[in-house]
Amino acid sequence: MARHRRCRRLWTFPPNAATLRTLRRQLGEQLRAWQVCDHHVQDATLVANELASNAIGHAATPYELAVALRGATLSISVADLVADCPEPRPPDHTGGRGLVLISALTRGWRCIPKAPGKIVLAEMALA
């Protein structure tokens, strides 16, 4: 992987599950252009998909996906217009696995309030 000092990309999507395919494709293309290795591309795409799915399902507002590569750290964030932060919950037949999965694939995640709404940010180590 090339060690870029700072790379950043932002996309805006409507609150529609059909956008997830486009999100995954565009994110994968961007990460490969930054020379991120394939297994990290797959993990990052899964994390972004879960963050976006939460925004679509719970906020139901347009959302922004941002990715930033700084050295060997990849930040993935989704911003939406609803202030309520996601809360982990026990998995059941309706869901509850997304934040557990994000926690397993990243260094961790957090919710950052903003006006209006919030940003849910996860960071991945690429080294």
Q: Express each pLDDT in 81-103 by its tens digit.
A: 999 998 887 777 677 688 999 99
9 pLDDT band, cuts 50/70/90, is: very high
| pLDDT above 90 coverage of the chain, percent | 80
38 has pLDDT over 80:
yes
**What is each CA distance from 96 to 11, 43, 72, 93, 101, in whole angstroms?**
26, 18, 29, 8, 9
Question: Are the beta carbons of 84 and 58 closer than 8 angstroms?
Answer: yes
- The CA distance from 80 to 116, in Å, is 8
Question: CATH classification of 7-125, choosing from 1.10.10.410, 3.30.565.10, 3.80.10.10, 3.40.50.720?
Answer: 3.30.565.10
Question: Are the beta carbons of 51 and 105 closer than 8 angstroms?
Answer: no
Q: Which pLDDT score, from 0 to 100, does residue 23 have? A: 98
Q: Which pLDDT score, from 0 to 100, does residue 87 have? A: 86
